[in-house]
Amino acid sequence: MVHLLQLDPEALAEKQSEGSEDCREGFYPWNAIMGSSGYNAYSLRKKRDEFLGIQDTLKALADPIRRKILNLLKNGRLSAGEICEHFSVTGASISRHLAILKEADLIQNKRERKFIYYVLNTSVLENVMLWIIDLKGVSDDEGNDKKNIEVH
């Protein structure tokens, strides 16, 4: 699997000026960039991890059962058994959904004696919302999109 990294406009222009055929609509294979002299490996790994983190989060949010689990957890911590009571699927299925949510860092768990309690991790949701807001663009206080228009 090739992971693609979205480049900022300046870096994309640089790659395209080099005649790179691997650029695809603003994306570039992150491992190919790693060998480039002008890029810091740490910052590229960080960007790749941020991109993959959002991808994992959106994938986890795509399932209606997982969204319902998140809605249950917004009211406070619950054990796996308490979560299972709200669904007509097997405990193994709920366990898999919880694992996916945990991998996406949308939930955290804490063991207390023989129970595991799950809680919502809202910081990941905040990061996704910030990404969506950034994707949409800047708005004024009244919700109107601002456009950079040059007047001559």
How big is the CA angle at 17 (ends 12 and 21), to the nearest 5 degrees? 75
How many Å apart are CA 15 and CA 90, to the nearest integer?
Answer: 50
Q: What is the pLDDT along the chain (152 residues), one digit of tens a residue?
A: 444 455 556 665 666 666 655 555 555 454 554 455 455 655 555 555 565 678 888 999 999 999 999 999 999 999 999 999 999 999 999 999 999 999 999 999 999 999 999 999 988 888 888 888 888 876 556 555 555 444 44
pLDDT confidence of residue 54: 82
Task: Mark 43-72 as b/e (b = at least 16 C-beta within 10 Å).
Answer: ebeebbeebebbebbeebbeeebbeebbeb
User: pTM score > 0.85 for this model?
Assistant: no
What pLDDT is attached to residue 102? 94
Domains and their CATH numbers in the chain: 4-58 (no CATH), 63-123 (1.10.10.10)
Q: How far apart are CA 42 and CA 33, in angstroms?
A: 12
Residue 88 DSSP class: S
pLDDT the model gives residue 99:
95
What is the structure's pLDDT at 135?
A: 81
Q: Which H or E run includes 131?
A: helix 122-136
